[in-house]
């Protein structure tokens, strides 16, 4: 599966663009703020029906315009699929496949699997467990509809329970017990899937990290959940008093986390900037391998500004790895055209370079 043509209208700083891509490597070069990352985000939007970088859909409409429109033509299993995503200030968001509008955006997830590696990934290490839960969710919703269903319902019942806990009589009501049972039912599937996911990522992750670091360091991932200590229904009853005092649900899979270790110590504490970036790249490439195995097709791989904080040797190891036939279509951004052109040229002749300037993209080589 690969994206061979992308059309963009009034998305962020891109007024209009028509781009034809190589099925192998596509490089986008330019100074900061010229639109390189916005182009990658347009590709992300067509896979995930939202921006990689947060914000409301309307915030991505170009200044003073009424809408944005993204359209991609993909080749999948010998056939062509056209996917479009539009956001209009007056009418909201519409996602279409081959001119047919989806009834539910969630029905699209997984059709065009994708992995992005970007500077914002630092939040996976330095921010709260919410970021690591988002990482697991983004991966799992692309391969498992039952997971998405359970997660949606869990969050719905969790919001109801938290609202009930804030009322004087709600904390002791029969409705609370009923919500406990609903939460427990959906939490168990989420817990099982996340536990299986992290265990499945570990061999890919550690192998990729060894290659990038030339076997200098050992890394591990450890899934942690309140449900390690028993079923959620029992835990909710056990901590009911604390929940009443705190007026929110203090135990459950909404507190899950992934512990990240380097050489047996917390990565956040002992890892250098280069080690942390290598760790994140290995984690995302493990996500790629996991998706590829489950979807039986190569995900798109978006690499945004990966050269920052990595030494030249690790960059060469990374480029050599992703240029291998085990990877499919790749999009790379960098501010240094000479550096990027030299590295990619040493590995393959099948690549395209685009120069970004104020939201305009010029094909420099094909």
Q: What does the pLDDT look like over 321-332, one tens digit per residue?
A: 776 667 889 999
| Spatial distance between the Cα atoms of 307 and 113, rounded to a whole number of angstroms | 24
Query: What pLDDT does 172 receive?
Result: 66
Structure tokens at 204: 């890919």
Q: Tell me the pLDDT tens digit for each residue of 191-243.
A: 999 999 999 999 999 998 988 887 778 899 999 999 999 999 999 999 998 99
- With 0-12 / 13-18 / 19 or more C-beta atoms within 10 angstroms meaning exposed / middle / buried, residue 14 is buried
Query: What pLDDT does 218 receive?
Result: 87
- With 0-12 / 13-18 / 19 or more C-beta atoms within 10 angstroms meaning exposed / middle / buried, residue 85 is buried
| Spatial distance between the Cα atoms of 287 and 206, rounded to a whole number of angstroms | 12
Average pLDDT (127-131) is: 91
Average pLDDT of the residues of the chain:
90
Q: What is the pTM (predicted TM-score) of this model?
A: 0.88
**Structural domain boundaries of the chain?**
1-113+301-366, 125-296
Homologous superfamily (CATH) for 1-113+301-366: P-loop containing nucleotide triphosphate hydrolases (3.40.50.300)
| pLDDT classification of 85: cutoffs 50, 70, 90 | very high
Residue 365 has φ and ψ, to the nearest 5°, of -160, 145
Query: What pLDDT does 171 receive?
Result: 62
Q: Which residue has the higher pLDDT, 97 or 348?
A: 97
| Spatial distance between the Cα atoms of 253 and 23, rounded to a whole number of angstroms | 39
- With 0-12 / 13-18 / 19 or more C-beta atoms within 10 angstroms meaning exposed / middle / buried, residue 78 is exposed
Q: Which residue has the higher pLDDT, 183 or 293?
A: 183
Q: How far is CA 197 from CA 7, 141, 366, in A?
A: 35, 12, 38
Query: What pLDDT does 46 receive?
Result: 96
Alpha-helical runs (H) found in the chain: 36-48, 123-126, 129-140, 145-165, 174-213, 232-238, 240-246, 267-270, 273-295, 312-322, 337-345
Query: What pLDDT does 316 receive?
Result: 72
Query: What pLDDT does 3 receive?
Result: 96
Average pLDDT (268-284) is: 89
Average pLDDT (127-140) is: 93
Q: Tell me the pLDDT tens digit for each residue of 141-180.
A: 989 999 999 999 999 999 999 999 988 776 667 889 999 9
Homologous superfamily (CATH) for 125-296: RecF/RecN/SMC, N-terminal domain (1.20.1050.90)
Give the count of alpha carbons within 13 A of 166, CB side only.
7
Query: What pLDDT does 44 receive?
Result: 96
Query: What pLDDT does 136 receive?
Result: 95
Q: Locate tokens 């493990």: which residue?
A: 286
Query: What pLDDT does 351 receive?
Result: 82
Q: Based on C-alpha coordinates, what's the Rg of the chain?
A: 22
In contact, 110 and 143? CB cutoff 8 Å: yes
Position 310 pLDDT exceeds 70: no
Average pLDDT (20-39) is: 92
Position 261 pLDDT exceeds 90: yes
Q: Which residue has the higher pLDDT, 78 or 20?
A: 20
Average pLDDT (280-304) is: 90
**Cα angle vertex 300, ends 116, 4, to 5°?**
130
Q: Locate tokens 């992934």: which residue?
A: 258
| pLDDT-wise least confident of 11-25, 98-112, 237-251, 332-346 | 332-346
Residues 6+ away with beta carbon under 8 Å from 178? none
Residues 6+ away with beta carbon under 8 Å from 269? none
Query: What pLDDT does 66 receive?
Result: 92
Position 313 pLDDT exceeds 90: no
Position 91 pLDDT exceeds 90: no
Query: What pLDDT does 309 receive?
Result: 61
């Amino acid at each position: 599966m690969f994206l061979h043509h992308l059309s963009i209208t009034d998305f962020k700083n891109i007024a209009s663009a028509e781009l034809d891509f190589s099925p192998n490597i596509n490089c986008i070069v330019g100074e900061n703020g010229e639109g390189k990352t916005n182009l990658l985000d347009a590709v992300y939007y067509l896979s995930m029906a939202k921006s990689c970088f947060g914000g409301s859909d309307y915030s991505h409409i170009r200044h003073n315009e009424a809408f944005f429109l993204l359209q991609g033509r993909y080749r999948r299993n010998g056939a062509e699929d056209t996917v479009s995503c539009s956001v209009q200030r007056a009418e909201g968001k519409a996602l279409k496949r081959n001119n047919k509008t989806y009834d539910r955006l969630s029905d699209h997830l997984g059709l065009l699997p994708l992995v992005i590696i970007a500077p914002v990934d630092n939040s996976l290490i330095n921010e709260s467990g919410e970021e690591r839960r988002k990482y697991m969710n983004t991966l799992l919703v692309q391969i498992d509809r039952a997971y998405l269903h359970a997660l949606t319902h869990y969050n719905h019942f969790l919001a109801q329970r938290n609202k009930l806990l804030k009322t004087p009589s709600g904390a002791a009501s029969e409705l609370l017990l009923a919500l406990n049972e609903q939460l427990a039912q959906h939490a168990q599937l989420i817990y099982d899937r996340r536990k299986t996911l992290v265990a499945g990522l570990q061999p890919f992750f550690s192998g990729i990290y060894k290659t990038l670091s030339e076997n200098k360091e050992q890394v591990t991932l450890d899934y942690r959940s309140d449900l390690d200590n028993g079923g959620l229904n029992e835990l909710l009853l056990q901590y009911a008093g604390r929940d009443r005092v705190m007026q929110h649900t203090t135990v459950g899979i909404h507190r899950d986390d992934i512990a990240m270790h380097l050489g047996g110590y917390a990565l956040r504490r002992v890892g250098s900037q280069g080690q942390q970036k290598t760790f994140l790249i290995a984690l995302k490439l493990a996500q790629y391998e996991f998706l590829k195995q489950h979807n039986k097709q190569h995900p798109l791989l978006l690499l945004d500004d990966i050269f920052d904080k990595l030494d030249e040797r690790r960059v060469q190891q990374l480029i050599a790895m992703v240029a291998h036939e085990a990877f499919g279509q790749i999009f790379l951004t960098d501010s240094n055209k000479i550096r990027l052109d030299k590295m990619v040229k040493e590995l393959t002749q099948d690549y395209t370079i685009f120069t970004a300037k104020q939201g305009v993209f010029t094909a420099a080589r094909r």
